[in-house]
């Protein structure tokens, strides 16, 4: 599972031939569920309390993060544009919900890019939020449906999923954001929490419809779910942690089962987007479109030929057969902490073909170093026992640094 060919530059997208010629492109399909305005802490609380079982199942079985930090304007227009184009605001040009300044001509939604390589791909958007339908162009959707309510969006999505030809479906659920504006974006606000729970029920309906497709077993689906921003008080748009701290999750074909944690890279102004190096270890909004493209385009050649022209900022988190890959993520996916959570004694495991010595640094949540060590990896696999049992219970961050890459993961000590 962990065999990978050599990897190139840090922060650069890397292409490798992986031989999928026998598979038809149209088996590769994507369901993207966007839920507007769901804070990470609120979602975690609802999942822990059994009030969001459908999303919880995705988190339990897939690739997920509660540590995606919004880097730009925490409004829906810019945020969904980051996620659907794979580039930052300085490129797609959207900095508000009136969408003025957009340049989707140069930086289109990812379905447009998919169709450059898969002209017959069929893509549909379903949202009750009219601005995302009206103000966006060059988006690649064959059909943009604007039902009146979230319930109707779910029904339309279920109906669309009966279509055997469908390849990409984006469904946007809006009412969590409305509940936040009406009552407060906060885990202590019942109306907000109930809206999250309700949205989770719609997610369940949509996923049930997906899994009921007659040819489901032979299709290679990835399901992505995420949010565009959090909120504070009854609003959002600023750069407080409660507005910026968001989550996303992916399940399905070739999606590794792992948690991604990341250190906040900070908020950025329009025109000064983060460098690749700054976000190389951090799950960010632009990664969504690139992960989607990686999955939808199993043929490397087309991505390779268009890499410069597309000028994407995000990175893919998919494993093994990826066409688009960032070096550091090899380590991200192949470095594990077991068990986690733990009582302070745990193994770190590196499952990667290298000959190098990694440094291991564990910090507490204030950034104070509590433990330092090294891990020699000569060959394909190495394991080392760590012991921080003398320290207080709580969250710690473990950073593993190798010759060309570094990765940080969270440890929870009970
Ligand atoms: Zn809003």
The alpha carbon of 177 and the centre of ligand 1 are apart by a number of angstroms equal to: 5
Question: Of the candidates 290, 325, 360, which is a domain's last residue?
Answer: 325
- Long-range pairs for 366-375 at CB < 8 Å and ≥24 separation? 370/396, 375/348, 375/350, 375/400
Highest mean pLDDT among 125-139, 298-312, 377-391: 125-139
Ion ligand 1 residues within 5 Å by Cβ: 177
CATH number of the domain that 347 lies in? 2.60.40.3080
pLDDT above 50 (res 41): yes
Q: Which of 291, 325, 359 is the last residue of a domain?
A: 325
| 167 plus 86 within the same structural domain | yes
Q: What is the CATH number of the domain that holds 254?
A: 3.40.720.10
Residue 129 clears pLDDT 70, i.e. is over it: yes
Strands (E), 238-317: 245-252, 258-259
Tally of domains in the chain: 2
Instruction: Indicate whether 57 and 178 sit together in one domain.
Output: yes
Q: Is 12 contained in some domain?
A: no
Cα-to-centroid distance, 328 and ligand 1 (Å): 34
> Is 10 domain-assigned?
no
107 CA → ligand 1 middle, Å? 24
Looking at residue 332, its pLDDT comes to 66
11 in a structural domain: no
Check whether 299 has a pLDDT greater than 90.
no
Amino acid 404: pLDDT:
65
- What is the reported pLDDT for 382? 84
d(C-alpha 265, C-alpha 312), whole Å: 19
16 located within any domain? no
Look at 161 and 375; give whichever has higher pLDDT. Answer: 161
pLDDT tens string 213-245: 999 999 999 999 999 999 999 999 998 999 999
Same domain, 313 and 186: yes
Instruction: Answer whether residue 20 is part of any domain.
Output: no
Q: How far apart are the CA of 263 and the centre of ligand 1, in A?
A: 25
Are residues 211 and 241 located together in one domain of the fold?
yes
Average pLDDT taken over every residue of the chain: 87
Query: Over 80: is that where the pLDDT of 11 sits?
Result: no
- State the residue range of the domain holding 392: 329-413
Average pLDDT over residues 362-371: 87
Q: Which of 290, 308, 325 marks a domain boundary?
A: 325
Q: Are residues 293 and 385 in the same domain?
A: no
- pLDDT (average), residues 29-35: 98
Q: What spacing in Å lies between the alpha carbon of 181 and ligand 1's midpoint?
A: 7
In this predicted structure, what is the pLDDT of residue 285?
Answer: 93
pLDDT at residue 17 is higher than 60: no
User: Is residue 340 over pLDDT 90?
Assistant: no
Q: What is the pLDDT of residue 330?
A: 55
Do 68 and 179 lie in one domain? The reply is yes
CA 7 to chain centre: 22
pLDDT band at 401 (very low <50, low <70, confident <90, very high): confident
């Amino acid at each position: 599972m962990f065999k990978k060919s050599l990897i190139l530059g840090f922060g650069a997208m890397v292409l490798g031939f992986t031989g999928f010629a026998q598979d038809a492109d149209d088996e590769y399909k994507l369901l993207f569920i966007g839920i507007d305005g769901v804070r990470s802490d609120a979602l975690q609380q609802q999942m822990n309390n059994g009030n969001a079982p459908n999303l919880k199942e995705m988190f339990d079985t897939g690739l997920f993060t509660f540590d995606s930090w919004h880097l730009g304007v925490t409004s829906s227009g810019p945020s969904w544009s980051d996620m659907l184009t794979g580039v930052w605001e300085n490129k797609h040009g959207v900095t508000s919900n009136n969408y003025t300044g957009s340049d989707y001509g140069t930086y289109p939604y990812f379905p447009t890019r998919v169709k450059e390589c898969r002209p017959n791909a069929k893509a549909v958007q379903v949202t009750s939020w009219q601005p995302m339908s009206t103000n966006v162009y060059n988006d690649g959707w064959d059909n943009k449906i604007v039902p009146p309510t979230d319930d109707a969006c779910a029904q339309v999505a279920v109906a669309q999923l009966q279509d055997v030809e469908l390849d990409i479906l984006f469904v946007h659920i809006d009412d969590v954001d409305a509940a936040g504006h009406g009552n407060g974006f906060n885990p202590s606000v019942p109306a907000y929490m109930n809206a999250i729970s309700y949205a989770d029920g719609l997610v369940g309906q949509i996923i049930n419809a997906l899994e009921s497709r007659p040819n489901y077993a032979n299709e290679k689906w990835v399901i992505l779910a995420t949010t565009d921003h959090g909120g504070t008080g009854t609003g959002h748009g600023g750069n407080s942690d409660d507005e910026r701290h968001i989550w996303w999750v992916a399940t399905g074909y070739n999606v590794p089962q792992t948690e991604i944690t990341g250190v906040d890279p900070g908020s950025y102004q329009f025109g000064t987007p983060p460098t690749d190096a700054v976000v190389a270890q951090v799950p960010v909004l632009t990664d969504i479109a690139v992960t989607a493209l990686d999955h939808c385009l199993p043929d490397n050649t087309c991505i390779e030929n268009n890499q410069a022209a597309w000028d994407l900022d995000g990175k893919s988190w998919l494993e093994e057969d990826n066409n688009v890959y960032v070096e550091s993520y090899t380590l991200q996916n192949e470095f594990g902490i077991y068990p986690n959570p733990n009582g302070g004694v745990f193994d770190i495991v590196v499952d990667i073909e290298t000959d190098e010595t990694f440094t291991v640094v564990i910090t507490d949540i204030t950034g104070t170093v509590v433990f330092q060590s090294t891990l020699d990896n000569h060959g394909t696999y190495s394991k080392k026992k760590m012991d921080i049992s003398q320290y207080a219970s709580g969250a710690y961050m473990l950073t593993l640094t190798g010759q060309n890459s570094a990765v940080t993961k969270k440890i929870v000590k009970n």
